[in-house]
Amino acid sequence: MFKSDSYTSTHKRFDTLIMTEKGDENLLKLETLRHSAAHVMADAVKRLFPGVKLAIGPAIEDGFYYDFDYPKGFSTEDLSKIEAEMKNIIAAAIPFERREVPKKEAREIFEKMGEKYKLELIDELNSDTVTIYRHGDFVDLCRGPHVSNTRDVKAFKLLKVAGAYWRGDEKNPQLNRIYGTAFLSKKELEDYLSMLEEAAKRDHRKLGTALDLFSTMDEYGAGLILWHPKGGRIRDAIETFWKQEHYRNGYDILYTPHIGRKTLWETSGHLDFYRDSMYSPMDIDGNDYFIKPMNCPFHIMVYKSRMRSYRDLPLRWAELGTVYRYEKSGVLHGLLRVRGFTQDDAHIICTPEQIEDEIREVLRFSLFMWKSFGFTNIKAYLATRPEKAVGEPERWEKAITALKNAATAEKMDYELDQGGGAFYGPKIDLKVKDALGREWQMTTIQFDFNLPERFDMSYIGADGQKHRPFMVHRALLGSLERFFGVLVEHYAGDFPVWLAPVQATLLTITDDQIPFAKKIRNDLKASGVRAELDDRNEKLGLKIREAELQKTPYMLVIGAKEAAANLVAVRSRKKGDLGQMPVDRFIEMITKDIGDKS
């Protein structure tokens, strides 16, 4: 099914919402309003741009969009014209009218209008009747629901123009997509637009360039990231902390190859179920090798390198493994959607008796890590067994119980997605909210009853017999690239001291202080502080402004008085002027900031 089909999957969401508790009524009203706004927008476009063809126009999480077939295309300037025409339609208070007609009649209606995309949707419907909605002269294929009349669509805004392929397939015609949003009140709309404005300032792609953290260019390959020195420093701080905490929590670190023989991916099932996301094979000594899209088959091969006993379990194996997956060029987005990324992967292999303690421990560890990086608003989503699944029901029940008990023990709110698990096991996803209240899906704790069977994993139990272990995949941060993008936007590039790429910048007033400043810089580096020296022959005010723009936590000003007295004048980005102090005292202060993760 095409996920954005306004007549099918979008309205299944409405059907679900109708059956939810009263607390979700506002969400239903909001989706109804936004879908109605999409119809009003499509009507305005048809009025202003003769010859345009309608594709689909669903409500989405933050608003709505409509896809149009219009060869000339729309410009950003067209949005104001469309908004003005929408206001005319809204002011007219035109009622939304629902009709259920025979499929044949629906075809005749849209065939007469020349709406070829609607005809394609009608032909795919497994129903003798079709529901259409009309307001005034505008008719659309739609199950609804809608607001009573166009006047109910009051607080709206058109946001941007984009391209989209019909049904998301690059082989199909390219369409013109107009995004908009609508809210139940003007205040909510204003708040949302203010958030978008702030989000634009925090865009990790802009900050990545301004702070010289990373780059991505088509010249060497779209969706592949170059980490610059400053970005590399932050990544190293993240990886160092990640490794330290994993060792502290009983994990061992693995390192596995970037490529593997075809037979490995056949056994794992990736070539059957994941082939479209894998790159073409390379021939090595007459054998096909594939670049890895995941690390788990290699971890299993480590497990199978020798016979395991119940006394060896649990095993907690983690890896910062770089994987490569094909993504369409149209969906690539800075660090958030890439083709090559380093996954902070881990696999827990244990006995059935150990599973509940292990799940609670991995959830506790995940929460600790997120809070260490400054994220405190975290929610869990628990997905259970679907209709078609592998693995014995008893194992599923034990796994689901372990997930529920772990969430309860850690006092976590969780939302139950009944039947929403993958065919190979239930899971918990952790979603974190950033400084702007946006929710990001990050950690996944995923049971897998499929791979242990496919690879015939076993251990020798206390009874001397072979048993199948439990296996859990755990991606804590998700990937370093995507996590870093979220981190940049959460802090707006103004990282806490322990993560800042440059923690202290020394600023000389004249060249006479350069020898003293170099000594201090070396002392700072020897103490583990990431320090740089700005000894340019420029005015101090310019140097301070540039250090501020680079969001450096501390600036150490060194003039003749400071050099003579073996002091530094400390300026904190957050606290302002802290006055003169000995270098040892400053090192003690900044080292405490780093240790406290402040």
Furthest CA-CA distance within the chain: 93
**CA distance linking residue 122 with residue 142, whole number of Å:** 10
Q: Which two tokens stand for residue 133?
A: 């909605």
Number of other CB atoms surrounding residue 519 within 10 Å = 13
Q: In Å, what is the CA distance from 245 to each residue of 71, 251, 318, 480? A: 55, 9, 11, 16
149: Cα within 13 Å, side-chain hemisphere: 9
**CA distance linking residue 369 with residue 362, whole number of Å:** 10
The three-state DSSP-derived secondary structure of 156-223 is EEEEEEEEEEHHHCCCCCEEEEEEEEEECCHHHHHHHHHHHHHHHHHCHHHHHHHCCCEECCCCCCCC
Per DSSP, the residues of 71-101 read: TT---HHHHHHHHHHHHHHHHTTPBPEEEEE
Q: Which of 451, 10, 428, 452 is closest to 274 using CA atoms? A: 451
238: Cα within 13 Å, side-chain hemisphere: 25
Q: Catalytic residue numbers?
A: 296, 325, 343, 345, 347, 427, 473
Q: Are strands 174-183 and 129-135 parallel, antiparallel or unpaired?
A: unpaired
Residue 402 φ then ψ, to 5°: -65, -40
**CA distance linking residue 563 with residue 468, whole number of Å:** 69
Number of residues that this document lists for the chain = 598
Q: Which two tokens stand for residue 448?
A: 């897998």
